[in-house]
């Protein structure tokens, strides 16, 4: 299993991150990841009623935008937020998004 593509921290753009965070499903994924030290791809989608290929698309958008880091651990792929990288590039952005999600309850599964 080859390692997935991730942009370097310096190459993460605000436009790409904002696009990745503009979808309610991806916001749910980000909120779940913020509450953990990482989850297997299949576990994050539990409670989200979408086809596996659609969930894969959302994972890819988040990863390629630089929001998440996917590592291959054994036979599993574990997804984690790139909290430190995002804070370095855009201080306060991730914290603001997570705080807004908590206030509105928008991060709860559908």
Ordered domains of the chain (ranges, CATH): 9-101 (1.10.10.10)
Band (pLDDT 50/70/90 cuts) for residue 110 is: very low
Band (pLDDT 50/70/90 cuts) for residue 87 is: very high
What DSSP string runs through 23-85?
A: SHHHHHHHHHHHTSS-EEHHHHTTT----HHHHHHHHHHHHHHTSEEEEEETTEEEEEE-HHH
Residues 70, 78 contacting (CB under 8 angstroms): yes
What pLDDT score does 46 carry? Answer: 67
The more confident residue out of 48 and 27 is 27
Q: Full-prediction pTM beyond 0.75?
A: yes
Residues 108, 47 contacting (CB under 8 angstroms): no
What pLDDT score does 109 carry? Answer: 46
Give the residue from 54, 52, 63 showing the smallest Cα distance to 85: 63
Q: Mean of the per-residue pLDDT values for the chain?
A: 86
C-alpha 61/C-alpha 28 separation (Å) is 14
- Average the pLDDT over 83-93 and give the result: 96
């Amino acid at each position: 299993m080859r390692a997935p593509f991730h942009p370097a921290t310096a190459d993460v753009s605000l436009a790409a991150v904002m696009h990745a965070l503009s979808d309610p499903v991806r916001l749910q994924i980000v909120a779940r990841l913020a509450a953990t030290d990482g989850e297997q791809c299949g576990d994050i989608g539990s409670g989200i009623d979408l086809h596996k290929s659609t969930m894969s698309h959302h994972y890819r958008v988040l990863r390629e935008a630089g929001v998440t880091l996917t590592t291959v651990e054994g036979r599993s792929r574990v997804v984690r937020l790139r909290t430190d990288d995002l804070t370095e590039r855009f201080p306060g952005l991730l914290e603001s998004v997570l705080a807004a999600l908590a206030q509105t309850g928008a991060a709860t599964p559908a």
